[in-house]
Amino acid sequence: MKTLKFENREIWLETRQGKITGSKLKDLISVKGDKKKMFYQLIADRVAIPADNENPMERGLRLEEEAMERFEKETKKKVDKSLIMWISEENESMAISPDGVIGKTEALEVKCLNSASHIEAWLTQELPKEHYFQALQYFIINPKLKTLYFAFYDDRIPNKDFFYITIERENIEAEIEKYKKEQISILAEVETEVLKLIGF
């Protein structure tokens, strides 16, 4: 065992980067064998430019246009970046706001995530679980949508700053129907409770 002594807390924090420490171990070990977020964070600690104190939401908004331009350049597709919202014809309480629209059957969603999540999506070539239902909602709301491009951009990753995952309606038809019905059912229940509360 080697012992390192530090006079400065900042150097101590810097030395911890990319290492499994006691506080990180619980976030790394998974009894089911799935790689947990800390696995990807360890990679990010080693390859990514360190994050600054910029608010993640503000950063995402700032980089969104740049990411869409990269998508256009790499795919040669023209993206309509108008600020719009799609509303379901089956229930007006169901909606989605596409980041970009490509013709009549394609759309683009952009994510500028933290570096660990960006790396996870790149290595697994899967949507992060927290964004899966957002992707489904595109297809639930727009029955004419055939293809959704889910683009990832992180300018702090030198060699893999941009990539996209393609989602085709034909591959997720069962999930689209399942969660459309579930939403409609939940909204009907919400409406029933609202009517009770307002005295009808």
Report in angstroms the alpha-carbon separations of 56 from 41, 51, 59, 133, 136: 16, 10, 5, 21, 23
- Residue 151 host element (H or E): strand 147-153
Q: Hey, how many other C-beta atoms are within 10 angstroms of the C-beta on 11?
A: 11
Helix, strand, coil percentages for the chain (3-state, nearest 5): 50, 15, 40
A 10 A CB-CB count for 104 gives: 9
Please choose, from the candidates 189, 131, 156, the residue with its C-alpha nearest in 3D space to the C-alpha of residue 48: 156
C-alpha span between 139 and 179 (Å, rounded): 10
pTM value? Answer: 0.79
As separate numbers, helices (DSSP H) first and strands (DSSP E) second, the chain gives 7, 6
Instruction: Return the pLDDT at 29.
Output: 52
Q: What size, in residues, is the chain?
A: 200
Query: Given this model, what pLDDT does residue 26 score?
Result: 52
- For the cut 50, the answer to whether the pLDDT of residue 22 exceeds it is no
Residue at token pair 């990010």: 44
Average pLDDT over residues 117-143: 91
Asked if residue 25 has pLDDT above 80, the reply is no
Q: What is the pLDDT of residue 55?
A: 79
pLDDT band at 59 (very low <50, low <70, confident <90, very high): confident
Instruction: Determine contact, residues 69/164, Cβ cutoff 8 Å.
Output: no
Query: Which tokens hold the place of 14?
Result: 């810097």
Summarize the confidence of residues 139-168 as an average pLDDT.
95
Domains of the chain: 53-197 (3.90.320.10)
User: Span 118-143, mean pLDDT?
Assistant: 91
Q: Within 10 A of 158 (CB to CB), how many other CB atoms are there?
A: 9
Specify which of 4-18, 46-60, 120-134 reaches the highest per-range mean pLDDT.
Answer: 120-134
Higher pLDDT, 88 or 37: 88
CA atoms within 13 A on the CB side of 47: 17
Residue linked to tokens 């012992």: 3
Between 108 and 49, residue with greater pLDDT = 108
Which ranges of 29-172 does DSSP label H, i.e. alpha helix? 37-47, 56-75, 115-124, 129-141
